[in-house]
Structure 1
Amino acid sequence: MAFSFKVVEEVGVLSEGANGWQKELNLVSWNDREPKYDIREWDANHEKMRKGVTLTIDELVELRSILNELEL
């Protein structure tokens, strides 16, 4: 299955593995659609990726609300 993507904005790096891949929060446009927030691991050039989760702005706001409630 072929698909296209464009990293519109690199928001931040959450962690980096020993293999150099980084778990990142980015704003990504998938198949020329409206960009969504995306958490997944990427190689250094953003050419290869692993499975991740994509969130709309409403879902991201709800996630922030949930995280703010956590006692860490």
Structure 2
Amino acid sequence: MAEFKFDVVDSFGTLSQAENGWSKQLTIVSWNDREPKYDIRSWSPERKRMGRGVTFSKDELSSLKKLLNNMPV
């Protein structure tokens, strides 16, 4: 399995937390020394392991924000 690197550059907060300590967070992450991107995924308590997630460029996150602001709740 190919090894990859990640660096959590900034963290904006936790969306939810599971009983096992893992938490779904909105962060900015640099994957394999690439340009950092906005990221939503689950992280282990010590942030050494992660679950599947989704990454967004700044423009994509801005579009998502507009969509969410217009959604009926």
Question: Which TM class, normalised by the smaller chain length?
Answer: over 0.9
Stretches of 4+ aligned residues off by more than 3 angstroms: none
Gap runs ≥5 in structure 2:
none
2:39 counterpart of 1:38: yes
Q: Distance in 2 between matches of 1:18 and 1:44?
A: 11
Letter in 2 for 1:57: K
Identity of aligned pairs, percent? 50
Q: How many residues align?
A: 72
What is the alpha-carbon root mean square deviation over aligned residues?
Answer: 0.5
Normalized per residue, the structure richer in strand is 2
TM-score by length of 2: 0.96
Q: When the two structures are superposed, what TM-score results if normalisation uses the length of structure 1?
A: 0.97
Shift of 1:33: 0.8
- Which stretches in structure 1 are left out of the alignment for 5+ residues? none
